[in-house]
Amino acid sequence: MTGVVDRPATHPAPGVGAAEVTIWEVGPRDGLQNESAVVPTATKAAFVQRLVAAGLPVVEATSFVHPKWVPQLADAADLLTALAADEALGDAARDLPVLVPNERGLDRAIELGCRHVAIFASATETFAQRNLNRSFEDQFAMFAPTVERARGAAMRVRGYLSMCFGDPWEGAVPPTQVVASGVRLLELGCDQLSLGDTIGVATPGHVRALLTAFADAGVGTDRIAVHFHDTYGQARANSYAALEAGVRTFDASAGGLGGCPYAESATGNLATEDLVWMLEGLGVRTGVDLDALIATSRWMADQLGRPSASRVVQARS
């Protein structure tokens, strides 16, 4: 086809034009944890390698959770062993973040030499029970020694917080409850807090209000990442609102893969390609090679046997 526009024209927006952002790629973890088909370990390793090669600065590789709870990621140790043996990745394989819910998960990560872990909490009682088999209060008791030991081992620790904008069982989640939960994760020793819209119900004004509530509690956007799922088609608008408010770390999933096995109403994450397209158009630097990323998502869609959910991948196919 001639005359095709394969890149957005650059039109910086006031206040965000000179920004540089970090895209935290969650496709191999948040994406593949939700696939009904078992993806071979070698395919997962190739996915991670291709994402790193496409310039994604952070690629979350897998989870050290109970294999009965998330069988899709039961091969976490084999995957990390394969990645550590990859010449192109080398020692950097140890910096790929992995999820750990508890000390048992941390032990497994330490055995494999991981240097970057993420715990994952819930802002609501019901999701804490469904996702972690713990009460809201007991989840902190599970995380406290996990984070303490990880910090003691000089690891970086991210704290995810789910259901920040709504919960499928409890409905609206008050910002005060979200802020109080997030502050507790930071007080445990997490170096970054990722605010999850697990079921994709947030809208831009809600994002701004929650970030303002965190700022009022003394938590600035320098310690916050945003994690939007696109269930209601709002993930890009929400990302823009967060960008305007000063957030500089954005979670996204190549090809829009994803969901959460313990929140059925969650669909895929914001597609990384769609985020990169918007940011490039705004003149915001990401370091990501969009063509290489699109090729990776097309390849992954072939492996999974269905088309990519990313609008940019679809438009460029």
- Structural contact between residues 41 and 81, judged by C-beta atoms closer than 8 angstroms: no
Please classify residue 303 by burial: count the beta carbons closer than 10 Å to its beta carbon, then call 0-12 exposed, 13-18 middle and 19+ buried.
middle
Name the one range near ligand HMG by CB under 6 A: 64-72, 179-187, 214-222, 274-282: 64-72
Binding mask 79-118 for Mg ion (x = CB under 5 A): ----------------------------------------
Q: What's the chain's length in residues?
A: 317
Burial class from Cβ neighbours inside 10 Å (0-12, 13-18, 19+) for residue 114 reads buried
Distance in Å, CB of 91 to Mg ion, minimum:
28
* Interactions with Mg ion, residue window 7-46 (CB under 5 A): 30
Residue among 49 and 139 whose Cβ is closer to ligand HMG: 139
Cα 293 from Cα 64, distance rounded (Å): 26
- How many Å apart are CA 310 and CA 269, to the nearest integer? 10
3-state DSSP assignment of residue 194: strand
- C-alpha angle 58/273/243, rounded to 5°? 70
Q: Quick one: which of 41, 49, 124, 162 contacts ligand HMG (CB under 6 A)?
A: 162
Q: Does residue 190 carry a catalytic annotation?
A: no
With H, G, I as helix, E, B as strand and everything else as coil, classify residue 222: helix
The residue (of 225 and 282) whose beta carbon lies closer to ligand HMG is 225
Binding of residue 33 to ligand HMG (CB under 6 A):
yes
Range in contact with ligand HMG (rule: CB under 6 A) among 35-43, 62-70, 202-210, 211-219: 62-70
Q: Does 69 bind ligand HMG (CB under 6 A)?
A: yes
**Cα–chain center distance at 97:** 10
Is residue 104 part of the contact set for ligand HMG (CB under 6 A)? yes
Cβ 271 vs Cβ 252: under 8 Å: yes
Q: Is 262 in the site for ligand HMG (CB under 6 A)?
A: yes
Give the active site residue among 114, 164, 190, 260.
260
The minimum distance between CB 184 and ligand HMG, in angstroms, equals: 16
- Between strands 22-25 and 192-197, the pairing is unpaired
Touching ligand HMG, residues 186-245 (CB under 6 A): 196, 198, 227, 229
Amino acid at 29: R
Of 120 and 136, nearer to ligand HMG (C-beta) is 120
Q: Which residues are catalytic?
A: 260
Q: In the complex, which residues of this chain contact Mg ion (CB under 5 A)?
A: 30
Give residues in contact with ligand HMG (CB under 6 A): 30, 33, 63-66, 69-70, 101-102, 104-105, 108, 120, 131-133, 160, 162, 196, 198, 227, 229, 260, 262
